[in-house]
Structure 1
Amino acid sequence: MANVLLLEKFNHILDENIINEINHVGIVKQFQKNDIIIDINQPMNYIPLLLSGNIKILREDNLGDDLLIYFLEAGETCTMSLTCVMGSSKSKIRAVAEKDSSIILIPVNHIQKWFHENHSWRNFILESYQSRFNEMLETIDTIAFLKMDERLFKYLINKTKLHDSNILTIKHQDIAEDLHTSRVVISRILKQLENENKIKLSRNKIEVL
């Protein structure tokens, strides 16, 4: 299974040699929706490559509340965890399965070796850094410059793209936690968006129009 998914998700990025090495040394793990894949202060001995599913990457504030940084899709890796691995430090993020996901974990001792020896792996890592950096800048801009109703609608649009569906099965509390606000605020703004004919609300479901 891992080899099939590796070929499907990474053969346009990584060459055959590195895919074979990943398949040989990697450890495949399955996670269910809402499982914690990487936790804050966890020692980083592996980096994850996402074979299927989606993962949300979160930061924690001083009160223990989470703030959504970005999402990972199949064919991507978390460069924040890679940074911790390269610096021999503990995780600064929490990675949570957005839906059932399959991941292959690569031991740290292979990562730097491949970076120096394999052109396709080096390009993949550098491009991943650029993509995640751009997403973090977008998150900062969203928090700094958008009002909460704009942030919420943007969040819903991104979710529909992530799940390839304009109908989202999600609780108001889950949205509030991702956007670092209260459920009451989210419920009020969702009703506002419905009145503006941007969404349609039903029990634990939101249809983006």
Structure 2
Amino acid sequence: MTPTDMTMDWVNRFPGLARLKPETRALLQSRSRNVEVEAGTMIFGPGKSPEHMLFLLDGSVRVQQVSETGHEIVLYRLPAGQSCVLTTACLLAYDDYSAEGIAETPVQAAAVPRDVFDDLVAQSKSFRDFVFAAFSKRLTDLFLIVDEVAFQRIDVRLAHKLIGLAEGQNSIATTHQKLSVELGTAREVISRQLQEFQRRGWVEQGRGVVRIIARDKLAQLAGHIS
């Protein structure tokens, strides 16, 4: 991941930064660098120390936790127009990453050096408010994930995930492995549950695809999520 000169006024793309003083906005703009990576690239990973705060301008980044046994769970996705809160947490704590960030699509981001981040957190209330507001929202999202994994039934969570991934369509390009990562469970668990959905006539399975047959049944089950 190699920074290049930032030529666009990227600060305007983040509403939370609009309240910054003109000199603070100018500092962010002048000291930032443009970062471009290809889909599939690991942007950061465990044991690495962040040197920049990242503001995603284009694309999507998947942040996931991988256990020592290779078990994976998606913690969150970072869409364009947001800052990476895991990077923020590591910068604030002077700590290394404990999870990995993978570019799901070609990605463009603005990278702000650590020293600029430290100075602005200390000196600019508006920037500090922006950082902690984003941090607070993402922390709430992570608590919801913990609640789902610990307390929600897997059939309910899978139905909810399938409805979300379908985005109004009837065909979902995915695999049992990908769904297991999304839901933080074993692939075999997903396979058994999809087989049960298929037995009920709710879905059909193909190689790398799941087709929704009875959306209303899945939606009814998915509605049990609190």
Q: Do the two structures share a fold, i.e. TM-score over 0.5?
A: yes
Larger Rg: 2
Distance change in 2, residues 1:170/1:4 (3 Å): farther
Contact 2:60 2:77 survives alignment (8 Å): yes
Choose the corresponding residue for 2:59, options 15, 40, 53.
53
How many residue pairs end up in the alignment? 205
Who is 1:178 aligned against? 182
**What is the Cα deviation at residue 184 of structure 1?**
3.1
Who is 1:146 aligned against? 152
Separation (CA, whole Å) in 1 of partners of 2:81 and 2:106: 15
Partner of 1:115, secondary structure, is helix
Distance change in 2, residues 1:142/1:29 (3 Å): same
**2:42 matches 1:36:** yes
Who is 1:188 aligned against? 192
- CA deviations on 1:27-55 (whole Å, 9 max, x unpaired) are 22223333211101112111211112222
Contact 2:64 2:75 survives alignment (8 Å): yes
Choose the corresponding residue for 1:117, options 119, 123, 127.
123
Distance change in 2, residues 1:200/1:123 (3 Å): farther
Return 5+ residue gaps in structure 2 as ranges: 1-5, 216-226
**What is the Cα deviation at residue 23 of structure 1?**
3.0
Separation (CA, whole Å) in 2 of partners of 1:169 and 1:89: 37
**2:8 matches 1:3:** yes
Partner of 2:8, secondary structure, is helix
Q: Percent identity?
A: 20
Q: Which stretch of structure 1 is more off in the superposition, 169-178 or 125-134?
A: 169-178
**What is the Cα deviation at residue 117 of structure 1?**
3.1
**What is the Cα deviation at residue 143 of structure 1?**
0.7
Separation (CA, whole Å) in 1 of partners of 2:30 and 2:194: 47
Separation (CA, whole Å) in 2 of partners of 1:42 and 1:140: 25
Contact 2:47 2:97 survives alignment (8 Å): yes
Choose the corresponding residue for 2:75, options 51, 54, 69.
69
Who is 1:26 aligned against? 32
- CA deviations on 1:66-91 (whole Å, 9 max, x unpaired) are 22212211111222221111222211
Separation (CA, whole Å) in 2 of partners of 1:5 and 1:206: 38
Contact 1:6 1:51 survives alignment (8 Å): no
Separation (CA, whole Å) in 2 of partners of 1:52 and 1:125: 20
**2:13 matches 1:13:** no
What letter matches 2:174 in structure 1?
I
Separation (CA, whole Å) in 2 of partners of 1:2 and 1:132: 29
**What is the Cα deviation at residue 188 of structure 1?**
2.8
Contact 2:149 2:183 survives alignment (8 Å): no
Who is 2:224 aligned against? none
Contact 2:37 2:107 survives alignment (8 Å): yes
Contact 2:11 2:17 survives alignment (8 Å): no
Choose the corresponding residue for 1:106, options 99, 104, 112.
112
> Normalising by the residue count of structure 1, what TM-score does the alignment of the two structures yield?
0.82
Q: Which stretch of structure 1 is more off in the superposition, 89-98 or 23-32?
A: 23-32
What letter matches 1:180 in structure 2?
G
> Normalising by the residue count of structure 2, what TM-score does the alignment of the two structures yield?
0.76
Alpha-carbon RMSD across the aligned residues, in angstroms, is: 2.8
Contact 1:81 1:93 survives alignment (8 Å): no
Distance change in 2, residues 1:101/1:157 (3 Å): farther
Contact 1:160 1:167 survives alignment (8 Å): yes
